[in-house]
Structure 1
Amino acid sequence: MTTSINLSTPWSRQRLQQTLAADGVIAYPTEAVWGLGCNPWSEFAVDTILALKQRPVEKGLILVASSVDQVQFLLRHLPEEIQARATAHWPGPVTCVVPDVKRQVPDWVRGDHDTIAVRVSAHPLVRQLCDLAGMPLVSTSCNPAGREPARTPWQVQRYFPAGIDLMVSGSLGTSRKPSTIIDIASGRRLR
């Protein structure tokens, strides 16, 4: 059974940081569903998530951040107009697909794309996770491919009785569906 923590104590916050630093995978509540997350610069951790979900690496994954500052490394290379379009949606339940012009995000997160999907969350727990990690995290729905995303800790455990290193307890946000996805360069809605 996966260890479950809340982030109310220094010990639990340290345990989260250690898990992410050791290429671990976490499960946590997001705005609408439970998510799986990890350090995006850990190929091992990302491969673990892809294997759990039975998701091909080519599709790419989303990065979630606590603030625009955490994704500024991507935005600063874009025209001001595109930066402004992206930041107008944040924080909130909108994922923006932005060009990764300097290829700063690893291929195992970006997939077969020259872009990366990024969301600056308004969910307090998600923001706390990213702040404690000191970086954006991979964020993908907690479910095997083709199944409904988990909405309860029980569903997380049922889908993944093994493979998740740490479950962070908390409440889902008020959204009933996953984030909207927008291609920020074209303005086209993808989901």
Structure 2
Amino acid sequence: MHRPLSFQQIAQLRAHLKRGGVVAYPTESCYGLGALPDNVRGLRTLLRLKKRPQHKGMIVIGANWSQLQPHLCRLPCDDVAALQAIWPAPKTVLLPAKPTVLPNLRGRGRNKLAVRIPAHDIARGLCQQVQAALVSTSCNRAKQRPCRNEREVRRQFGRQVYVVGGRVGRRRQPSEIVDWASQQRIR
């Protein structure tokens, strides 16, 4: 079982994220890399570390609906209730993004944002502890295998990221991605 972060660690991590830092943390299938979704510097750092093209979108995770809601257009109450009934789960959903959401978060030319409330306790707890939604993309450089433990994270990224330790979940595949409006499976 993973110990929650201490008050001091939470304060350090929050300051790190606000300065545009990147965090690595365990998720359902691998370690994830995260930054604050509205922090341009953090997103640029994350993309540079991963060597990931800017035109691809990224997933935003939250501990609860209220952390995701500020990034999304208003949804009908029935849709919100249906989403809350399926989460937490390794299911990512594309929803209409507010125009203020950064383009490299949505993906260039797209108006939807991929969001999820993760089933992994540490990933969800991290959002709760830092009191913010986080970007969630696999922890690896482009064209490399995603990291599955702390040692692999440190080997690929050294001290460039703040690492939250813990075990990844048992899933071998990344989360399913579904367009909520059409129910079309994307991944």
Aligned to 1:169: 165
Instruction: Pick the aligned partner of 2:134 from 133, 137, 146.
Output: 137
Q: Aligned letter for 2:138?
A: S
- Cα deviation for residue 8 of structure 1 reads 3.6
Q: Aligned letter for 1:77?
A: R
What is the CA–CA distance in structure 2 between the aligned matches of 1:71 and 1:156, rounded to whole Å? 27
TM-score, with length taken from structure 1 = 0.88
**In the alignment, does 2:21 pair up with 1:24?**
yes
Q: Aligned letter for 1:105?
A: V
* Runs of 4+ that moved beyond 6 A: none
Change (3 A) 1:77 1:17: same
Q: Aligned letter for 2:100?
A: Q
What is the CA–CA distance in structure 2 between the aligned matches of 1:83 and 1:185, rounded to whole Å? 12
What is the CA–CA distance in structure 1 between the aligned matches of 2:125 and 2:47, rounded to whole Å? 24
Aligned to 1:89: 86
What are the superposed Cα offsets for residues 31-55 of structure 1, whole Å, 9 maximum, x if unpaired?
Answer: 1100100111111110111111111
Q: Aligned letter for 1:64?
A: I
Cα pair 2:20 2:45 within 8 Å, conserved? no
Aligned to 1:58: 55
Gaps (5+ residues) in structure 1?
1-5
Q: Aligned letter for 1:168?
A: V
What is the CA–CA distance in structure 2 between the aligned matches of 1:80 and 1:187, rounded to whole Å? 18
What is the CA–CA distance in structure 1 between the aligned matches of 2:72 and 2:140, rounded to whole Å? 30
Aligned to 1:186: 182
Aligned to 2:37: 40
Gaps (5+ residues) in structure 2?
none
What are the superposed Cα offsets for residues 39-91 of structure 1, whole Å, 9 maximum, x if unpaired?
Answer: 11111110111111111111111101101121233556123454344334311
Cα pair 1:7 1:13 within 8 Å, conserved? no
Aligned to 2:114: 117
Cα pair 2:62 2:134 within 8 Å, conserved? yes
Change (3 A) 1:104 1:88: farther
TM-score, with length taken from structure 2 = 0.90
Task: Give the percent of matched residue pairs that are identical in Structure 1 and Structure 2.
Answer: 39
What is the CA–CA distance in structure 2 between the aligned matches of 1:16 and 1:135, rounded to whole Å? 12
Q: How large is the Cα RMSD of the aligned pairs?
A: 1.8
What is the CA–CA distance in structure 2 between the aligned matches of 1:93 and 1:84, rounded to whole Å? 17
Structure 1 stretch displaced more, 173-182 or 80-89? 80-89
Q: Aligned letter for 1:63?
A: V
SS of 1:86's equivalent in the other structure is: helix
What are the superposed Cα offsets for residues 10-39 of structure 1, whole Å, 9 maximum, x if unpaired?
Answer: 211221112112211111111110010011
Cα pair 1:82 1:185 within 8 Å, conserved? no
Cα pair 1:62 1:119 within 8 Å, conserved? yes
